[in-house]
A and B are shown apart, each in its own frame.
Chain A
């Protein structure tokens, strides 16, 4: 079952902040965040495994709610290099742990303008 990402697209000015959400109707084992620039392969950002977890990666951070059904990716003081499509990949908790079976959301296209 595919997770739902929102918004589908967002346009920012440099220095502005953005939040991208990833929601599932079922509890998740893990959430993975990737960024993909046009014509390139996806690049790993971070993995969240525990309910209530928060992780940071420079000015990009993410959270995983206590019920493990929603994750949010936070981009602060955005830079031009943040432009791309952000995907969340999820694993269902009822699959009995990680089986390597990531289901990706449809992506959120982020455009950062000067």
Chain B
């Protein structure tokens, strides 16, 4: 059984479109995260949710909106996609906050044309 899963694995879309990436974890963890890894492999945290509440919201454009329907799911919705949004987006989860091990999903490769 996959611990942290993301869908879709690949996403190719046109500029200006709106898209969503879904993340689910079956580990019973309380905290979930979204990371962006750009073409230079720079890994940056975007959002963190603990028990469905937002605890980190780094400086990302407000076109990005996380949604947590329950503590096992953290989805990422992106409006008006731009070329610079092309990246790999990783979802992760941990039992508590960051002193706990973070388990990463397989990533979603987003390409904006």
Interface residues of A (CB under 8 A from B): 30, 32, 36, 40-44, 47, 49, 85, 87, 89, 91, 98-104, 106-107
Contacts and interface: CB of A to CB of B under 8 A. Distances in A.
B43 A47 contact: no
Interface string B20-61: 000000000001010000001111110010100001101000
A47 B98 CA distance: 9
B64 interface: no
Which of A41, A42, A44, A102 lies at the interface centre, i.e. has the most chain B CB atoms within 10 A of its CB?
A: A41
Contact of A100 (B43, B56, B106): B56
A14 B19 CA distance: 44
Interface of B: 31, 33, 40-45, 48, 50, 55-56, 58, 90, 94, 97-99, 101-107
Which of B31, B56, B58, B99 lies at the interface centre, i.e. has the most chain A CB atoms within 10 A of its CB?
A: B99
Nearest to A39: B107
A104 B102 CA distance: 13
B56 A41 contact: no
A103 B42 CA distance: 10
A65 to B, nearest CB: 18
A43 B104 contact: yes
A42 B42 CA distance: 12
Contacts of A41: 90, 104-107
Given A40-B106, A91-B98, 8 more contacts: A41-B105, A41-B107, A49-B99, A98-B97, A99-B98, A100-B55, A101-B98, A106-B41
Nearest to B44: A104
Contact of B56 (A32, A47, A99): A99
Contacts of B43: 42, 87, 89, 104, 107
Contacts of A98: 97-99
A103 B44 CA distance: 7
A98 B90 CA distance: 20
Contacts of B42: 104, 106-107
Nearest to B104: A41
21 contacts: A30-B98, A41-B90, A41-B106, A44-B101, A44-B102, A49-B99, A89-B43, A98-B97, A99-B48, A99-B56, A99-B97, A99-B98, A100-B31, A100-B33, A100-B50, A100-B97, A100-B98, A102-B98, A106-B40, A106-B41, A107-B42
